[in-house]
Amino acid sequence: MKELTRKQILITGGAGFIGSHLCEKLLKEGQEVICVDNCYTGTKENIYHLFDHPGFEFIRHDVTFPIYLEVDEIYNMACPASPIHYQFDPVQTTKTSVHGAINMLGLAKRIKARFLQASTSEVYGNPEVHPQTEEYWGNVNPIGIRSCYDEGKRCAETLCMDYRRQHDMAVKIVRIFNTYGPNMHPNDGRVVSNFIMQALQNKPITIYGDGSQTRSFCYVDDLVNGLTSMMNTPDDFTGPVNLGNPGEFTIRELAEMTIEMTGSRSTIEYHPLPQDDPLQRKPDISLAKDALRWTPLTPLSEGLAKTIDYFDGLLKTKGTTAS
């Protein structure tokens, strides 16, 4: 019976942090997964354990170039997500979001596949509306150092809407808020990975600014449940839909929690706030609750404990050091 309902699913960016968890979940559900990734920020190590699975296939490919495959669904997750990674080669970041979306939407159009775009809370920029609802158009600097990511993702949303309107496709957009968990890159500079790696090594915790800026942190298992719920909505439901955990914490609170949970001797060190760093961020998830029947279940303390275990294991086996 399962054979009849098995779907072929393409996940771009499947070797990355979120993508690798999504590959695993869909394989567990009995689907066939093709992971397309150029390993720019992701790594095969995130998916090695899936290589022996008969339903799994890995293709090293850059989504800014066309690809011809036959699948039922596409999750377009490919794009560097941490500020230091997406600012390293900003032109490539915009190309990945824009050319990548065109190619994957073109593929979806040809083969009539359902398409889900991983967008981001960054489309809201430094928000003047709090918490952020999907109706809010955002406050984004179009020429700053974060623009390659923010504007690339905004343009990808535009492409999604226009492909849907012009070609009557089943397209879905999710706006993902800060997500954390195992398989995050230890040196990707994001706040959760930085703080845990620093705390575990008793190195100073680097707070940018005075630490009063806020973020809402969603555990990765909750997030991928939201992604698959969104994919399974009716064809004519496009969103965009916010996916995130509305629990809001200051960066200083996160630093203190991390020090306490790791039993670290780290001190706190204050550094300048990077340009255009949003001061607050918290999703309004009413639409996700309503349309997807989705709500995040993992409290920050529980998710942090699992993430600390993961990085602790990495340090013990590989001696990876925080930058």
Give me the active site residues, please: 149
Specify the residue, 82 or 183, whose C-beta has the smaller distance to ligand UDP.
82
Query: Which residue's CB comes closest to ligand UDP?
Result: 106
Query: 6, 28, 60, 110: which one contacts ligand UDP (CB under 6 A)?
Result: 110
207 binds, among ligand NAD, ligand UDP, none (CB under 5 to 8 A by kind): ligand UDP
Q: Where on the chain is the footprint of ligand NAD (CB under 6 A)?
A: 12-13, 15-19, 37-42, 62-64, 77-81, 85, 96, 100, 118, 120, 176, 178-179
Cis peptide before 182 (omega within 30 of 0): no
191 binds ligand UDP (CB under 6 A): yes
Q: In what order do the strands lie in the sheet with 171-176?
A: 56-60, 32-37, 8-12, 73-76, 114-120, 171-176, 241-243
Chain positions 261 to 280 lying near ligand UDP, rule: CB under 6 A, are 273-274, 277
117 binds ligand UDP (CB under 6 A): no
194 binds ligand UDP (CB under 6 A): yes
Q: How does 171-207 read in b/e, with b if 16+ C-beta sit within 10 Å?
A: bbbbbbbbbbbbbbbbbbbbbbbbbbbbbbeebebbb
CB of 198 to ligand UDP, least distance (A): 8
187 binds, among ligand NAD, ligand UDP, none (CB under 5 to 8 A by kind): none
- The DSSP secondary structure of 180-221, one letter per residue, reads E-TT--TTS--HHHHHHHHHHTTPPEEEETTS--EEE-EEHH
The token pair at 45 is 């190590």
166 binds ligand UDP (CB under 6 A): no
42 binds, among ligand NAD, ligand UDP, none (CB under 5 to 8 A by kind): ligand NAD
The token pair at 275 is 């340009």
Beta-carbon contacts of 240 under 8 Å, excluding residues fewer than 6 positions away, are 119, 134, 157, 173, 174, 175
Give the Cα separation of 304 and 182 in Å (integer).
10
Query: 46, 94, 96, 103: which one contacts ligand UDP (CB under 6 A)?
Result: 103
Q: Please, which residues bridge with residue 11 across strands?
A: 35, 75
Q: Which residues bind ligand UDP (CB under 6 A)?
A: 66-68, 82-83, 102-103, 106-107, 109-110, 178, 190-191, 194, 206-208, 213, 215, 251, 273-274, 277
